[in-house]
Chains A and B, each alone.
Chain A
Amino acid sequence: MSHESNSPIERGALSPCWSCKGPVIQRALFCSTCAAVQGPGVVDHFTRLGMSRSFDVDMVTLDHNYFDLQRRLHPDRFSGRTARERALSQSQAVAVNDAYETLKDPLKRAAYMLSLEGRKVDIHGTATIDDPELLMEAMEMREALADAETRAAIDKVAARAEAQVLTCQCALSTAFGHRDLDRAGALTTRLKYLGKLAEEARARKSRLIRPVA
């Protein structure tokens, strides 16, 4: 982090418009002076989508803000503009998409929030974990799934997994609410495992319906 992070105007930091040099706040899509589209800038995903930084994301508001931004950034609106404006609107659209993909998914959102706090949660990395409680649960549920021979039996495992996903998300909300980042980290890993289990259950069910030769 640079010294700039201590700046009192961090969130609404101003930068000059590339076109008219007028002041533009960092998350703005367009310059308020000359209306030129701006580059995506460096803002967090919550700010970019006009959401407050919380694990409890209101999906209706998130969708609304996202589609509004995408509408304003639609390539058709820039067809008569300069190459630079077309390029900037495109990179804005990419940044908005990226933010939306991260925030709409509870697992990605949790991992992202931890990364904003300087915690590293490896949902893509390669570190080995040895949390016995989590792994015993994962092993036990994967065994139950492997033993499930009928659709009904698989549904039962899948329903249990989905219920635990919801419980885990509620616990994550509480942990983030209390800023208990250690617990939030452990729950994020658990959510990853539960998601994998639900995915495997779906795959097993589809194999049952259409047996692989």
Chain B
Amino acid sequence: MAYSEKVIDHYEHPRNVGSFGKEDGAVGTGLVGAPACGDVMKLQIKVSPDGIIEDAKFKTFGCGSAIASSSLVTEWVKGKTLDEAAAIKNTEIAQHLALPPVKIHCSVLAEDAIKAAIADYRKKTRADDEAAE
């Protein structure tokens, strides 16, 4: 199967690989997996006090499409609000990377990862708010 140039670009030059400290209150972590491929994807966001995603990092063990999908999402979410980032659809990722049908689930994984990271961040801040009250 031939990968598109965009997939190869992200695969060979992945953007924003790495980790933030999970305990940091400004960080939301999404950890998801695709049992079909044995893939595991970690996507983290760092959120400013006014609710803007300042930075994002990922670490993915999986195929080229999974790496490219998560790399692309970290680029896209920077500068977005949480709601905007949560609105990213896997179809947009798949379309941008020209993923073949058998690799669509990699873009689903990336969408699930960003949603999980946002949910984790919101859970954390809610817990902080409650602790403050």
A contacts, CB < 8 Å to B: 122-132, 134-136, 138-139, 142-143, 146, 189, 192-193, 195-197, 199-200
Closest chain-A Cβ to B88's Cβ sits at a distance in Å of 15
Q: How far is the CA of A189 from the CA of B35 in the complex (A)?
A: 6
- The interface centre, meaning the residue of B31, B42, B108 with most chain A CB atoms within 10 A of its CB, is B31
Q: List 14 A-B contacts (CB under 8 A).
A: A123-B35, A123-B36, A124-B36, A126-B36, A126-B104, A127-B34, A127-B35, A127-B36, A128-B33, A130-B31, A134-B33, A138-B38, A138-B61, A193-B35
Additional pairs, 6, CB under 8 Å, beyond known A128-B112, A130-B32: A124-B36, A126-B36, A128-B32, A130-B31, A131-B33, A142-B40
A125 with B36: in contact, given A135-B31, A136-B31, A139-B61 (CB under 8 Å)? yes
**Chief secondary structure at chain A's binding surface:** helix
Residue from the list A124, A139, A143 in contact with B31, Cβ < 8 A: A139
Judge whether B80 is part of the interface by a CB distance below 8 angstroms: no
Cβ of B116 under 8 Å from chain A: yes
Taking the complex as formed, is B122 at the interface, i.e. its CB lies under 8 A from any CB of chain A? no
**Contact at B40–A139, with CB atoms within 8 Å?**
yes
The 5 closest A-B pairs by CB, nearest first: A196-B38, A126-B105, A142-B61, A128-B112, A138-B40
Cross-chain contact of B38 among A125, A127, A192 (Cβ < 8 A): A192
